[in-house]
Amino acid sequence: MERRHSKKRDEIRKYLASTTAHPSAAQIYEALKTQIPELSLGTVYRNLAGFREDGEVITVAVVDGEERFDYDTSPHQHFICKKCGRVVDIRTSALGEETLTRLQHDTGIEIHSHALTLYGHCENCK
């Protein structure tokens, strides 16, 4: 869907593209409200919903009650620290094509995509 161009939308997109922290809508709002005083949390949520609908961002998980977003939509996995809530990108071939092909063959299912999320304690919290 063609969306209206706006400075707020551009700044939200730019912020998402500049971080690997997998921020929530509230974190994005807090980061941008000083440079865009007229920004509202509702505007951030609406833009994130549009970005997700357009395939520009993905939802990683809900951490401490807040949906967390990732601008990197390339295939990768995530690790979430159960203590501090940090979300980290993981690049691994553990679920490579051979594994997925075997899984489809063994179960009769058809896999279109997959997501693997690991949970535990990060190096700072363990």
Q: Please name each of the domains of the chain with its CATH number.
A: 7-70 (1.10.10.10), 77-120 (3.30.1490.190)
Instruction: For residues 33 and 9, give the distance between their C-alpha atoms in angstroms, rounded to a whole number.
Output: 13
Hey, what are 66's tokens?
């807040």
Q: Are 83 and 40 spatial neighbours (Cβ–Cβ below 8 Å)? A: no
Q: What is the pLDDT of residue 26?
A: 98
Tell me: the pLDDT tens digits for 108-118?
Answer: 999 887 788 99
Mean pLDDT computed over 11-17: 97
Name residue, tokens 């601008």: 71
Cα(11)–Cα(99) distance, integer angstroms: 40
Record the pTM: 0.83
Q: Specify the pLDDT at position 51.
A: 96
